[in-house]
Amino acid sequence: MSDLKDLDRVDPFLDQVINAVPSGIFVIDKDHNILMLNRAAAKMVGKSPGECFDRKCWEIFNTPMCKTPDCTCHRAIKEDSTIRGLSVMHHNDREVPIEYAARPLKNVDGKIIGCVEHFIDITDRLEKERIIVKQQEGLLKQREEDIRHLQEEILELSTPVIEIWDGILALPLVGTLDSHRAKLATERLLEAIEKTRSAFVIIDITGVPAVDEEVANHILQTVDAAKLMGSKAVLTGISPHIAKTMAQLGVDMSTITVHGRMSDALHMAITESTNRALEYTNVQTWITDNKKS
Amino acid sequence: MISIKSAKNLFSISALGPILLVKIEETIDDEGIKNLTETLSESIVKYKSKAVIIDLANVDILDSYLASHLESLAYTTKLLQAEVIISGLKGPTIITLLEFDIKIEGVNFALDVNHALDQLS
């Protein structure tokens, strides 16, 4: 204690300075007795500096680390180093988040005689940080939403199913076909066939720049889907480049009707559906005739 | 028009001239399918049918079991010199068939019964 007595003789000017500092500063001895405490520190725990002297620091600053080996001052004294960190002070059922830094206090001989701790109230800072994080999250969410919306829009735009004639649908495929897009195109095509009761579908791949095995399989699957539905799918717009790739890949196109130009396919579809319509009338007549007899 | 209804209403077979119209209901079970194959082949011979339309408009789930049975049904029918058209498959059912790579070979497909009749003429 003899070493610490020197500290009692505080220079009035220094005392003024320490009390003028807006953040909390206090000094304890090795037994956690408070030797000095500035006004800001006392104010933060809702006490006057007089009330705090000669009491244990953990009585005044009630933090989760008090009386544990993690105690800042304990560590600073033990490790002879500066300890920094964040914690929470409790007083009057109120939680005050703080940021602290503690350093061991030494006498002229370099012997550790206590610890000085400095801390600031970071309620406002945390609040601001929370607002910033919230805003960032909001922005990110908004961005994701926008991107998703745009992607959906592109998908919608890129797979139109058009009824170009009575009972004839066209599915012009444009751009690269990935599995997601291919699936969407197939679903939309099936929906359109179901809705319009179309017996013909012309799948045009003029706008597909390149074909690999995956894309070829997607196209074949779409054709299969239309077939299962009862609609006849015709593939058009195969460029020489794609034809070559398909041949090299060994894609089995034997079950698929292919036409060079979309107009040829349309012509074929119209002719066939007209013939069908005529035959259908014949069947209807046949059924009614049979019913009569 | 002659109509045969199965027990528990699992399917019905109607004879329209040279065409047999088979309607399968959602509730069809394994027993029902076996029963159907038998009744159908007998009917084809009895009514000298040239074609069979299998309408699946009421079936929402087509599993691999039913699919393979439809295939063998088609094969049996072919041996009896009649062709098979399956009509009324729904979009989601088709997507499932494609996803699980379930194939029904040797069969033609139609949008609905009308379209099937259309194809037969």
Q: Quote the number of domains for chain B.
A: 1
Q: From the centroid of its chain, how far is CA B80?
A: 15
Closest CA to A170 of A154, A141, A151, A192: A192
ipTM over 0.85: no
Residue A282 touches chain B, beta carbons under 8 Å: yes
Which residues of B make CB contacts under 8 Å with A? Answer: 16-17, 86-87, 89-91, 94-95, 97-98, 104, 109-112, 114-121
Q: Is B48 helix (H, G, I), strand (E, B) or coil?
A: coil
Cβ distance B109 to A230 less than 8 Å, yes or no, reads yes
Full-model pTM: 0.59
* CATH tag for A2-122 (out of 3.40.50.1100, 3.90.320.10, 3.40.50.2300, 3.30.450.20): 3.30.450.20
Helix (H, G, I), strand (E, B) or coil at A259: strand
Q: Shortest CA distance to A169 belongs to which of A104, A265, A289, A275? A: A265
Question: Chain B residue with minimal CA distance to A198?
Answer: B111
Backbone angles phi, psi at A160, to 5 degrees: -80, 140
pLDDT, tens digit, 9 for 90 and up, residues A58-105:
887 878 888 888 888 888 888 888 888 888 887 777 788 888 899 998
The tokens for A235 are 């593939």
Give the HSE-up count for residue A66: Cα atoms under 13 Å, Cβ half-sphere.
Answer: 13
Q: What is the pLDDT of residues A206-222, one digit of tens each?
A: 888 888 888 888 888 88
For A193, the closest of B98, B111, B117 (CB atoms) is: B111
Q: pLDDT tens-digit profile of B25-76?
A: 887 877 888 888 888 888 888 888 889 999 988 888 887 888 888 888 888 8
- Put simply, the answer to whether B16 touches A287 (Cβ < 8 Å) is yes
Q: What is the CATH number of domain A157-285?
A: 3.30.750.24
CB count in 10 Å sphere of residue A76: 23
Q: What residue segments make up the domains of chain A, in order of their start? A: 2-122, 157-285
Domain that holds residue B55: 2-120
CATH number, domain containing residue B13:
3.30.750.24
Percent of chain A at pLDDT > 90 equals: 15
Instruction: Work out the pLDDT band at A2, boundaries 50, 70, 90.
Output: very low
The model's pLDDT over B100-116, given as tens digits with 9 standing for 90+, comes to: 888 888 888 988 888 88
